[in-house]
Structure 1
Amino acid sequence: MTAVKKELLIFDFDGTLIDSVPDLAQATNDMLTTLEKAPYPIDTIRNWVGNGSRMLVERALVGSVEVTEDQLTQDEADHAEKVFFDAYAKISGKNTVAYPNVDEGLKKLKQAGFTLALVTNKPMQFVPKILESFGWSELFTEVLGGDSLPVKKPDPEPLRYVCRTLQIAPEHAVMIGDSKNDILAGQNANIDTLGLSYGYNYGQDIRELNPTQAFDDFQSLIDWIMTQYQ
């Protein structure tokens, strides 16, 4: 494979740069307790993360990855999501951690001249505080949350929006993430995709989605980008 020089690296957030499951699980169980429902083990909730907060809430309410339209009413889901947001806001990311080598890796890419962007399905209201807590706010030129646009990943529009906003052609951009939503968004936007195997992908090997390249740790990703995309 001959790689084309890239300018823009678009990162996913949860499961790619940070492990937020401990906080998301606590907020989910706080929500369930408030609604007088039984809580779940963190490993169960881990398998529900990755499609945004609304889907996490709905999965917790029905106790399954698969949620059908007849299982919940709109009012039930709306109320539960509000309770979840209130619980998550109180936790403030105190148990969220960066994956190994992410901090150093992002700074290395920035220093090498790449433009970094963040496109996450996490609601935007929670993103700036977490970025600030890690000292990453200045690293990302553009940041989109799951509610920043009418659509979110796996729809390609958030990636296209970032490319248009930064005036960088899609062929010079890369989508980097841990889940099916990230890889499909990149493929649908006709940009390279780099997959990470350690995040939240519901037990599916990220390689089965045929990303441009896949890695088992962040350092290997950084090394590959520095040799292939400059």
Structure 2
Amino acid sequence: MRYSVITFDLDGTLVDTAAEIAEAANRTLVECGLPRQPVEVVKQFIGAGTRQMMQGLLAHVLRQFPNHQLKLNETEMLNRLDHHYSCTAGMDPQPYPGCVESLQRLRASGVRLACLTNKEHRFATKVLHAAGLSSLFELVIGGDSLPQRKPNPQPVLHILHVLGGEVQRAAHVGDSRTDVQTAKAAGVAAWAVPWGYNAGEPIEATQPERIFMSLPELAEHVVQANQAHASATLVRA
């Protein structure tokens, strides 16, 4: 098996951004007249996009305060969230261990890389730049880049079209059920990591084809597979 294109989710897969997302969400909650929430609570709603995260978090908090009258309507709330996240995005993203080195190794081995996230594109690029990852991706697709977002397969298929990849030689890597569903719908290998934001659900429950316990392990798997494919091709020649 030779892998030519690999797409990576961003939040919870490559970088830990929960703190900066939670800070933007909490600033918005306070403006709505609601109490701040722990980062661990906010994590449960990360993955579908910033606005979807806020809507889920708000519904969760309002269940605790059912008679609360919001100081902002939904449009105002989401506009304030955009403002706050424009301030906190890229504030302190923490790449997971071996992230930079693993992506560099994949690039050096000839694999083409893209970042595929449901985070809005303008925020995704800020996070990637702050984390020192921008130069490692040929393409960044955010949740607002195309008509459809994950788990629809369109973003993966769009990336393969742009980068010249084939589904049988591609993989998508993520930390959530959404990522696994996206990969399977697109027909690419569905790979997962166990340390991200999967709403408290064990990643095993999403039934990915393979779970990698570290990003260096993933890079080693791809490089070894591609080298074995190259050797077999030479033998046949």
TM-score, normalising length: structure 2: 0.87
Which structure has greater helix proportion? 2
Asked whether 1:212 is paired with 2:209, we answer yes
Find the counterpart in structure 1 of residue 146 from structure 2.
149
Partners in 2 of 1:155 and 1:180 — Cα distance? Answer: 12
Find the counterpart in structure 2 of residue 101 from structure 1.
98
Summarize deviations over 1:6-35 as a string: whole Å, max 9, x none: 100100000000000000001000000111
Paired residues, number:
218
Summarize deviations over 1:141-173 as a string: whole Å, max 9, x none: 111000001111011110011111122111111
Partners in 2 of 1:229 and 1:41 — Cα distance? Answer: 43
Partners in 1 of 2:90 and 2:139 — Cα distance? Answer: 21
**The residue matched to 1:138 in structure 2 has which SS?**
helix
Structure number with bigger Rg: 2
2:124 corresponds to which of 120, 124, 127: 127
1:41 corresponds to which of 22, 38, 42: 38
Deviation at 1:229, TM superposition (A): 4.2
Gaps of 5+ in 1: 67-74
Q: What letter matches 2:206 in structure 1?
A: L
Deviation at 1:204, TM superposition (A): 1.5
- Hey, which bits of structure 1, 4+ residues long, moved more than 3 A? none
Gaps of 5+ in 2: 64-71, 228-237
Q: What letter matches 1:162 in structure 2?
A: I
Question: Aligned in 2, Cα 1:32/1:56: closer, same or farther, shift over 3 Å?
Answer: same
Find the counterpart in structure 2 of residue 71 from structure 1.
none
RMSD value over aligned CA atoms?
A: 1.7
Partners in 2 of 1:223 and 1:17 — Cα distance? Answer: 16
TM-score, normalising length: structure 1: 0.90
Deviation at 1:52, TM superposition (A): 0.9
**The residue matched to 1:155 in structure 2 has which SS?**
coil
1:194 corresponds to which of 191, 199, 204: 191
Find the counterpart in structure 1 of residue 77 from structure 2.
80
> Do 1:198 and 1:217's aligned partners in 2 also have CA atoms closer than 8 Å?
no
> Do 1:105 and 1:218's aligned partners in 2 also have CA atoms closer than 8 Å?
yes
Deviation at 1:225, TM superposition (A): 2.0
Asked whether 1:50 is paired with 2:47, we answer yes
Q: What letter matches 1:51 in structure 2?
A: A
Between the aligned residues of both structures, percent identity stands at: 29
Summarize deviations over 1:172-217 as a string: whole Å, max 9, x none: 1110111111110000001111110100111212222221210222
**The residue matched to 1:110 in structure 2 has which SS?**
helix
Q: What letter matches 2:85 in structure 1?
A: Y
Find the counterpart in structure 2 of residue 70 from structure 1.
none
Partners in 1 of 2:108 and 2:86 — Cα distance? Answer: 33
Find the counterpart in structure 1 of residue 160 from structure 2.
163
Asked whether 1:19 is paired with 2:6, we answer no
Q: What letter matches 1:138 in structure 2?
A: S
> Do 1:57 and 1:77's aligned partners in 2 also have CA atoms closer than 8 Å?
no
Q: What letter matches 2:184 in structure 1?
A: Q
